A and B are shown apart, each in its own frame.
Chain A
């Protein structure tokens, strides 16, 4: 398996623009997680899905953020409109139900909002 795949790897956009981050989890994994990492706030869980259903979105900062998982092999995290404070590295991770603590992270998307 190729591991968790994220795209794009880098995104530079202007304030107010819509940003869409994409993730393909490891085939057969039951959970999909979206994290945000910054120097100031560390690794923050934004939202996670179990079998494509959102379980906990309490970490989503505000209504500008939304996430979907239309099928078991694809998820998106959308920011609309983007703001400079959204600049961070966004990680997607997936895991099996029976080994939920063993999360496999993607390479991340580095987002810069100017």
Chain B
């Protein structure tokens, strides 16, 4: 119930293409869904986050789509660039779980020229 599933495990995208990472959850008590980006040798950093009462949130080239009924959400990176190459983690948190953030297993994205 506390798990967040994420796919694919790794992704290779051509420069300029769209990168899509999908996540799913079971616990309907989750009330915030952040995405984190991690570059090699660095700690994860918050990229974008969405609440379940919003179906889509866009920040620059990054868009989160949220499907509450299916308990799924996804990250789309438009016009992917080599600088986007990193590991991406979807996550979920809930006030009823004392604010613990549950991270997905991560997706390693490589954007090739």
Contact = CB atoms under 8 A, between A and B. Distances in A.
A45 B87 CA distance: 18
B45 A31 contact: no
A42 interface: yes
Contacts of A97: 99
Contacts of B106: 42-43
B43 A108 contact: yes
B43 A101 contact: no
A43 B89 contact: yes
Given A43-B106, A48-B100, A56-B100, A105 B32 contact: no
A57 to B, nearest CB: 12
Contacts, number: 53
Contacts of A67: none
A59 to B, nearest CB: 9
Nearest to B105: A42
A18 interface: no
Given A100-B99, A100-B101, A101-B93, 17 more contacts: A4-B43, A42-B105, A43-B89, A43-B103, A45-B103, A50-B98, A55-B98, A91-B43, A91-B44, A97-B99, A101-B34, A101-B46, A102-B49, A103-B46, A103-B101, A107-B41, A107-B42
Interface of A: 4, 31, 33, 42-43, 45, 48, 50, 55-56, 91, 93, 95, 97, 100-108
